[in-house]
Amino acid sequence: MPEMGIYEAMRTLRAVRRLRPDPIPDDVLQRVLEAATWAPTGGNAQPWRIIVVKDRALKEPLGKLYNERWSAYTKQRPIPANAPTDVRARAERTFAAGDYLGAHFGETPVVAVFCFNPKNMAITDAKQDRVSVVGGGSVYTAVENLLLACRAEGLGCVLTTLLCECEPEVRKLLAIPDPWYTAAAIPIGYPVGRGHGALIRRPIEQSSRPVNPSATSITSPRSLSISP
Ligand SMILES: Cc1cc2nc3c(=O)[nH]c(=O)nc-3n(C[C@H](O)[C@H](O)[C@H](O)COP(=O)(O)O)c2cc1C
């Protein structure tokens, strides 16, 4: 496969939830896993590990847990009755793809479970009176590298975190020792359909509203991106 440009990979890296059960060649899998290791992490500590789950005896119960969480998630978030037609259609497509993933999770050839060790993280916002996010920055950089590498290899994948809701069961199932916890599970496989493609995202003009009205440049260090 010819090399794909980084911008093209980023521009088309969308969540692919319908994955074929066909195996992923070892050399391809090796390359996407290695790409994860190139990510920056705080103090270069690389406080994460990947459990590459291929064994059906593990993927099936993992899939059962995932499907339970997915069903609960969709029940809690019904599509609003007054949603515009295009928004409704998009949400219905996403939910249908999510249902497919839930039902077929155990058949996915590889599930990459990202684990992290909080003892190896410099969590510089841990004492702030708000939810802490800095620690995740030393894990999700690696996750994104893996997703982009999958995209470049023509593999479908989706970053999922619903299994974190039942982390104790997942840790038991995968025999994850203390002090390791779970950050994401990425089902990976060749797409059933077209797979990756154009994204729907907020444009940069709307993602760069400056807090300080006098700081209008999106590149100014004094401007901050905030979302309503
Ligand atoms: C932190 C995070 C958690 C996510 N968790 C899940 C998940 O558990 N299940 C799922 O199907 N998608 C999950 N996603 C995928 C998002 O729903 C998806 O990236 C988003 O809707 C945009 O879709 P698109 O990339 O296809 O445009 C997650 C994404 C992120 C960044």
CA 185/CA 58 separation, integer angstroms: 13
Does 90 contact ligand 1 (Cβ within 6 A)? no
Residue 45 alpha carbon to ligand 1 centre in Å: 26
Q: What pLDDT score was predicted for residue 59?
A: 98
Contact 208, 38 (CB under 8 A): no
**Domains in the chain: boundaries:** 6-197, 202-228
Tokens in use for 211?
A: 């807090």
Residue 14 alpha carbon to ligand 1 centre in Å: 9
Q: What pLDDT score was predicted for residue 224?
A: 47
**In the block, residue with structure tokens 């319908």:** 18
pLDDT tens-place values along the chain, 228 residues long:
568 999 999 999 999 999 999 999 999 999 999 999 999 999 999 999 999 999 999 999 999 999 999 999 999 998 988 999 999 999 999 999 999 999 999 999 999 999 999 999 999 999 999 999 999 999 999 999 999 999 999 999 999 999 999 999 999 999 999 999 999 999 999 999 999 999 999 999 888 766 665 655 455 444 444 444
Does 15 contact ligand 1 (Cβ within 6 A)? yes
Q: What is the DSSP letter of 121?
A: -
**Looking at 118-200, which runs of residues are DSSP E strands?**
156-157, 181-189
Annotate 43-61 with DSSP letters as a single string: GG---EEEEEE--HHHHHH
**193-to-16, 97, 172 alpha-carbon distances in Å:** 9, 11, 34
Contact 188, 148 (CB under 8 A): no
Domain covering 6-197: architecture: 3-Layer(aba) Sandwich (3.40)
Which ligand 1 atom is the nearest neighbour of the CA of 98?
11
Contact 186, 160 (CB under 8 A): yes
Q: What pLDDT score was predicted for residue 197?
A: 93
Residue 161 alpha carbon to ligand 1 centre in Å: 8
- Atom 21 in ligand 1: which residue has the minimum CA distance? 15
Residue 216 alpha carbon to ligand 1 centre in Å: 31
Tokens in use for 117?
A: 């060790």
How wide is the angle at C-alpha 181 spanned by C-alphas 97 and 70, nearest 5°?
20
Instruction: Name 209's Cβ contacts closer than 8 Å, sequence gap at least 6.
Output: 225, 226
